[in-house]
């Protein structure tokens, strides 16, 4: 059974994951209308992953005697300036999510809720991967700068990354 404090904290995280899904969906649209198919595919897939992160929390809250809340969400931006800026935004967003997961883990220890603590370990590992991936992409884009030919190759690289991730997850 979840304490009220844990239930509220998990519901806050549900909202963060839902908003993450919206942010990456907006990034996918921005990339797609500019013809960057690889980056768009990457962002669409990432948006789906965030929805999965949200649903996992929703199921857990309901199974543990709480009530998962589906709340209103802040609208994401529609413009992201440049790919470099967009991937910087993505990286900073993931750092914020990791911090939020850390805070949540801390609350479970304070409340001595070891079941939720255990459940959250999946998110702890996932955030290490998400930050590493975002950092990796950001390193690549920093090498390219604003070079158009470089961006074209980068887009192809990202497309292959999505295809590789797809085939390993099946």
Place of tokens 């013809």: 35
Helices (H), the chain: 4-33, 37-63, 83-110, 114-144, 148-169
Is 68 in contact with 61 (CB distance < 8 Å)? yes
CA distance 66 to 9: 11
What residue is closest to ligand FEO based on CB? 53
Considering the complex, what minimum distance in angstroms separates the CB of residue 131 from ligand FEO? 9
**Closer of 9 and 53 to ligand FEO (Cβ):** 53
- Report the nearest approach of ligand FEO to the CB of residue 144 (Å): 24
Rounded least distance, CB 72 to ligand FEO, Å: 19
Q: Which is nearer to ligand FEO, 39 or 151 (CB)?
A: 39
- Closest CB to ligand FEO among 7 and 50? 50
Rg for the chain (alpha carbons), in Å?
17
Q: Which one, 120 or 151, has the nearer CB to ligand FEO?
A: 120
Q: How far is the CB of 149 from ligand FEO (least distance, A)?
A: 30
Cα 125 to Cα 123: distance, rounded to the nearest angstrom: 5
Binding site for ligand FEO (CB under 6 A): 17, 20, 50, 53, 94, 97, 130
Phi, psi of 79 (to 5 degrees): -120, 145
Q: What residue has token string 């914020």?
A: 96
* Residue with Cβ nearer ligand FEO (24 or 151): 24
- Three-state SS for 78? coil
CA distance 154 to 100: 31
In the complex, least distance from residue 34 CB atom to ligand FEO, rounded to whole angstroms: 23
């Amino acid at each position: 059974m979840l304490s009220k404090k844990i239930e509220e904290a998990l519901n806050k995280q549900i909202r963060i994951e839902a908003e993450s899904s919206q942010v990456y969906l907006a990034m996918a649209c921005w990339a797609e209308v500019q013809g960057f198919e690889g980056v768009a595919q990457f962002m669409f897939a990432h948006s789906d992953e965030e929805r999965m992160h949200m649903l996992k929390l929703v199921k857990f809250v309901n199974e543990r005697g709480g009530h998962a809340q589906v709340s209103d969400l802040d609208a994401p931006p529609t413009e992201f300036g440049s790919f470099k800026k967009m991937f910087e935004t993505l990286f900073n967003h993931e750092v914020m999510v990791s911090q939020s997961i850390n805070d949540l883990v801390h609350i479970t220890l304070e409340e001595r809720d070891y079941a939720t603590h255990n459940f959250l370990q999946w998110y702890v590992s996932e955030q290490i991967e998400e930050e590493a991936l975002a950092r990796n992409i950001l390193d690549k884009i920093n090498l390219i700068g604003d070079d158009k030919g470089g961006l074209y190759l980068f887009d192809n690289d990202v497309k292959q990354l999505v295809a590789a991730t797809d085939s390993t997850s099946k």
